A and B are shown apart, each in its own frame.
Chain A
Amino acid sequence: MLTDRDRLVKYGSIITVVVAAVLPFLTDNMFIINLLVLMLIAVIFASAWNLLAYSGQGSLGHAAFLGIGAYASTLIAAKAGIPPLVTVFLGGAVAAFIGILIGLTCVRLKEWFLAMVTFGFAIIVQTLTVSVLAPVSGGWDGIASPRIISASVAGYQTIEYYIVLAITLLSLFAIWYIMKSKVGLAFLAIRENELEARAAGIDPVRYRLLAFAMSAYLAGVAGALQIHHIGYLTPELYGAENSFWPITYVILGGLGTLIGPVIGTVVLTIIWEGLKETGMTFGRYVIIGVILILTIIFLPRGLVSLPEEIKAWREKRGRRAGTETQIPAK
């Protein structure tokens, strides 16, 4: 049985994919294609963060995995001469490995201790990158990163767009599959009540680590894609701002849902770029902050829940109008 919401999601997704597939035919403006590529990468990153939050773990340092994936992929591509399209996934694997290591320290922690540790972890990784690892990472100056498709190929940006689109869809499909599977159920059980989950035979530590590994993997892939697309990599990728963006996207769209991060990323990117046109600099961040706080207070389940909220509000209003008309009849 499909409910209204399922149907909406189904047709909405099909339309979105079709629109995404034909977009490059509608414009040959390189600026817009570039923006779309970065937006798709942000969708992967936000979805990765969301997957971790789905298991009840809120990370404040996901930029660490973004950066690790980017550095690993770039260095492997540069030193071993493997094409970036392959190293992107190797970068993700390195991020996943380190994700498991940091996950090991995190899985037993309370939610806000975990937020602290992940935030600190991003700072530690950044410090390592610019100090001990500076000979290979290039320190604060950064290093050049090979492009996914060489700039000498005709229409390389459009080809990149389709590659990134394919990886994004693949990632979303994988996350959908995980959420529907027993693993996803286990995540939910742990998030809602760890004690009961344990009573039902779910090992919270194992599943939390799994969530960490998968989330770090996708974040690493996103970071690698972004850096191979831009062509240059600096330690600023580890900055707190990059850790906060996915949170903002996911909260606005709808925490713990598959399409929430997609909607949140698209809507915020449009708002962000629209505000850029007005010439705002700091004001843009203030507006994003206000949007974030208003969403948390007034629409805690995000934009995804907007249709339901409106429906509920209408019914409530309808009922109230109904009782009002009944009163004089008495």
Chain B
Amino acid sequence: MDDISTFLQIIFWGLYAGCIYILLATGLNLIFGVMKVVNFAHGEFLMIGAYITATIFLLTGINPYVIMLVSMLALIVMGAAVERLCFRPILGTGKLNEIFLSIGLIYIIQNGAAIIWTDEWQSIRSPYNGITVPIGTLDVPLDYILIMIITAAILCGLYLFIRKTTIGMQMQAASQNRKGAMLVGIDVERIDVVSFGLGCALAAAAGTLWVVSGQVFNPYIGSIPAVKAFAIIILGGLGSIPGAVIGGLLMGLAENGAAYLLGGIWKDAISFVILIVVLIVRPTGLFGEKED
């Protein structure tokens, strides 16, 4: 009996962690798909999103699930600014340049946040803190269930946006063939800004879900989840949103399982062990394409 509830506990932890990874990986996929840009500083947007939600919540007491929308809007603006100021000027000068530029962004955003909010660990209590829903033998916190529902809702919304709206279809066109999209009159640079902003908004949503779950946060929480999100993209296929969803869930489950079996210290390392093993077998990723 005890074993089963431990097992379920791990699964729920894994699904929760998976939700955060899915949102990050999907955002990165959007940006990579359209701009072919590798932004290692993506986790920093998660962190800023987390702080914006937490700060507004502490100041006003509004339900943090509602503040998430504000946080996402703020990050769209921030993402658009970062794209214009930093990535636009170096677009097409090589992947390494983008990676180095992300390192500069990591320095600026992390420590800028530390100046504003200090680098102390913080946490907030969601209004639903303490409410649990019995599922089988396990009492699952309501927050976890809400987090999963919200992630699913965001993904559905995103799917509809990409499939049904004009901008969404333009994004698809730009990611399939940038030159072709330009030729049919799509303003590709505007699409760049939109996809970068959207990607950052998804990161802000992930940040909000991070804080409402009651997890502690400080300005340095973003880096590792972002790199893991990249690992998920490599495993799940570049530009593939279903791949990001399945990869995110598997990554969340794998690392929580490993943390239970091998000890908590292995939680971060295990994702990279998986990544390296997969890349040894298939250097282009599980569903990788040949072309760059």
With beta carbons under 8 angstroms apart, the residue of B96, B107, B265 that contacts A127 is B265
B105 and A120 contacting across the interface, CB-CB below 8 Å: no
A131 and B265 contacting across the interface, CB-CB below 8 Å: yes
A285 and B231 contacting across the interface, CB-CB below 8 Å: no
| A322 nearest CB across to chain B (Å) | 30
A110 and B266 contacting across the interface, CB-CB below 8 Å: no
A313, CB-defined interface residue at 8 Å: no
| Chain A residue at smallest Cβ distance from B113 | A282
A130 and B265 contacting across the interface, CB-CB below 8 Å: yes
User: Contact flags (1/0) for A22-62 with B, using CB distance below 8 Å?
Assistant: 00000000000000000000000000000001000010100
B271 and A120 contacting across the interface, CB-CB below 8 Å: yes
User: Contact flags (1/0) for B96-136 with A, using CB distance below 8 Å?
Assistant: 11111101111110111011000100000000000000000
User: Contact flags (1/0) for B216-230 with A, using CB distance below 8 Å?
Assistant: 000000011001001
A12, CB-defined interface residue at 8 Å: no
User: Contact flags (1/0) for B149-182 with A, using CB distance below 8 Å?
Assistant: 0000000000000000000000000000000000
- Among B15-23, B64-72, B243-251, B274-282, the one that faces the other chain is B274-282
Please name all residues of chain B whose beta carbon is closer than 8 Å to the beta carbon of A284 when the two chains form the complex: 111
| Chain A residue at smallest Cβ distance from B227 | A119
A300 and B97 contacting across the interface, CB-CB below 8 Å: yes
| B255 nearest CB across to chain A (Å) | 12
B272 and A120 contacting across the interface, CB-CB below 8 Å: yes
B292 and A293 contacting across the interface, CB-CB below 8 Å: no
| Interface range on chain B (Cβ under 8 Å from partner) | 35 or more
| Chain B residue at smallest Cβ distance from A58 | B96
With beta carbons under 8 angstroms apart, the residue of A105, A117, A282 that contacts B114 is A282
A240, CB-defined interface residue at 8 Å: yes
B97 and A282 contacting across the interface, CB-CB below 8 Å: no
A296 and B107 contacting across the interface, CB-CB below 8 Å: no
B269, CB-defined interface residue at 8 Å: yes
B234, CB-defined interface residue at 8 Å: yes
With beta carbons under 8 angstroms apart, the residue of A105, A120, A289 that contacts B231 is A120
With beta carbons under 8 angstroms apart, the residue of B40, B100, B223, B234 that contacts A296 is B100
B185, CB-defined interface residue at 8 Å: no
8 Å CB interface, B73-108 against A: 86, 89-90, 93-101, 103-108
With beta carbons under 8 angstroms apart, the residue of A53, A113, A247 that contacts B103 is A247
B110 and A296 contacting across the interface, CB-CB below 8 Å: no
A292, CB-defined interface residue at 8 Å: yes
| B263 nearest CB across to chain A (Å) | 7
> With A130-B265, A292-B100, A300-B93 in contact, is A113–B111 under 8 Å at CB?
no
> With A116-B230, A120-B276 in contact, is A297–B86 under 8 Å at CB?
yes
A286 and B108 contacting across the interface, CB-CB below 8 Å: yes
| Chain A residue at smallest Cβ distance from B263 | A131
Q: How far is the CA of A60 from the CA of B223 in the complex (A)?
A: 13
Please name all residues of chain B whose beta carbon is closer than 8 Å to the beta carbon of A111 when the two chains form the complex: 94-96, 99
B99 and A58 contacting across the interface, CB-CB below 8 Å: yes
| CB pairs A–B below 8 angstroms (25 shown) | A58-B100, A60-B99, A109-B279, A111-B95, A111-B99, A112-B98, A112-B99, A113-B283, A116-B234, A117-B276, A120-B231, A121-B276, A124-B269, A128-B269, A130-B265, A131-B262, A282-B111, A282-B115, A288-B104, A289-B105, A290-B108, A292-B103, A292-B104, A292-B107, A293-B104
> Which 10 interchain pairs have the tightest Cβ spacing?
A120-B272, A289-B107, A292-B104, A289-B108, A127-B269, A282-B111, A285-B111, A293-B104, A282-B114, A108-B283
